[in-house]
Amino acid sequence: MSKIQTAYSDEQTGGSLLRVFDQSVDPTELQWHRDEEARTVVATSDTDWLIQLDDRLPQSLNHDVFIPKGEWHRVIKGTGSLKVKITKHS
């Protein structure tokens, strides 16, 4: 039985989630998706990885990005690994 690979790993820290995307992730794994709660996402250090929300141009993760509940979005691979802080909003 093979182990299922995911595009990222998560670590809970207080009220936030730290999500790490390894530099070896296949860009095809970074698919458009929606989440069941609103959230704010920001890279923990400068990066050239991007985030794209539905019907918008890709934008930097080097500043807070608010993603409304149910909004289609995806991460676009840059160089190196990506570590983001995710704060979920009820």
67: which 2 tokens?
Answer: 């993603």
Q: Could you say which architecture CATH assigns to the domain 9-89?
A: Sandwich (2.60)
- Are 43 and 82 spatial neighbours (Cβ–Cβ below 8 Å)? yes
Residue range 26-80, pLDDT digits in tens: 999 999 999 999 999 999 999 999 999 999 999 999 999 999 999 999 999 999 9
C-alpha torsion sign, points 69, 58, 43, 7:
positive
- Are 52 and 76 spatial neighbours (Cβ–Cβ below 8 Å)? yes
Q: In the chain, where are the structural domains located?
A: 9-89
Neighbours of 75 (CB within 10 A): 25
Model pLDDT, residue 5: 55
Q: Which residue has the tokens 């998706």?
A: 33
Q: Are strands 38-43 and 82-89 parallel, antiparallel or unpaired?
A: antiparallel
